[in-house]
Amino acid sequence: MKKTVAIVLAAGEGTRMKSRKAKVLHIVSGIPMINHVINTLSELELDRIYVVVGNQGKDIINALSNRNVDFIWQKKQLGTGHAISQVKNKLNKFDGNVMVLYGDVPLIESITLKNLLNSHSSSDFSATLLTFYPECVSGYGRILRNDEGNIIDIVEESDASKEQLKIKEANSGTYCFIWKKLSQAVDELNTKNVKGELYLTDVIKVLSSKGEKISAINIKNWKEVMGVNTREELVNANYEMNKKILKKWMNNGVTIMDPGSTYIHTKVIIENDTVIYPSTFLEGKSKIGKNCEIGPFTRLINSVIGDDSKVTYSVVHDSKIKKGTNIGPFSYIRPGTEISESAKIGSFVEVKKSFIGKGSKVPHLSYVGDAEIGDKVNIGAGTITVNYDGFRKYKTRIEDNVHVGSDSMLVAPITIGKGAITGAGSVLTKDVPPDSLALERGEQLIKEGWAKRKRELEKKRQLKKKDKNKEGS
């Protein structure tokens, strides 16, 4: 097979998105849509991938900084044909095939591109197009054929006649060319069209007029080549991509109770025999172990969940949860937290940038921030690590086998020694030695009969008020 390179067109502004962000940088299943295109191309045996950038080009380059691609600047966006002309200096000695596609087709499959490339490479056609029959052809360029069925042109919708608009076969914007033929044809393009631009699609007419052979393969699943030009189309692309991701994980042994309310990003990894309950969002680079239960109403962001763990009605953000741990319901695990094996973080608990040891429990209604908690520690309800004085954050250290009484305030910096017990309702400001009892409360005051006398006085006051109101009337 001849050498083959790909050119991804990503210089356009995407005005219909009505966004300050370049169109190809909008997110589909957790990553910019252009990253999906590059991921798919990377599955092919290509010699090089070129990305043509212009509008917000630096941001696109940053988004693809870890990918093995070359960038070509189109400083003035004068059309797709002009974009191809900007690559000519890079390919002036190239003798092979070039695949051209757009950066806004995140659903395109590698097998589709392989079929296109194989069809083109096994023939003597100058160009091979990927065409399709969408449910609604509006917005797409139409494929023009002569009486013998040969492709002779592509007409953009804005330039099409009424008869041409009736054509159902649409241009996907994905092509294979013999590079030398494409390079020569680009030089003959003109701006005689509604937009006054150099259209890549006009290359087909140029080649056809010279007697060059042009072929096409038709894609059955038209959604693969669905471009993203509007917010509605962005939603549709996310929906279709999410369906693909859910299907992949179900085929790999993951139970998803309600696919209609479950959203999983591209880079998420899930081991088998895990169950995902409804209304769950798995985002970023989250990784979930075997035999876990996640959800319902749970959001994981860039977090690791160990085997045999449960996370229910909770948010876990940039944290590590180890094997056999229970989180929730209604817990918030904030970035920088690590929770060890068989620990429990219960209802209405917030943990921030803390380490929780093996078998330790923070059962309910507590805040643990900037803390280091040892093994088999029990944190009573209503406990707060007072970590911030308005200027700086301070650390709380609780060693193994400590029991912290309910409604405790641990004012950092503070260390609670191994095996210590703190009394409920204490405000502790000093370190607690190991195996000791720490108790800080005001003296309890009892006044016998006070409540009864108070009620009698109140009753007299009400009667007096009533009598006064009668006199006034």
Catalytic residues: 364
3-state secondary structure of 255: strand
Q: Are 419 and 402 in contact (CB under 8 A)?
A: yes
**Residue the block writes with tokens 């991921």:** 39
3-state secondary structure of 140: coil
Of 79, 214, 213, 202, the residue nearest 141 (C-alpha) = 202
d(CA 441, CA 425) in angstroms, rounded, equals 7
Q: Are 199 and 189 in contact (CB under 8 A)?
A: yes
Other beta carbons within 10 angstroms of residue 389's beta carbon come to: 10
Retrieve residue 274's tokens. Answer: 């895990």
Helices (H), 129-230: 179-186, 202-209
Task: Give the number of C-alpha atoms closer than 13 A to the C-alpha of residue 429, restricted to the C-beta side.
Answer: 3
Q: Kind and range of the H or E element at 467?
A: helix 450-472
3-state secondary structure of 105: coil
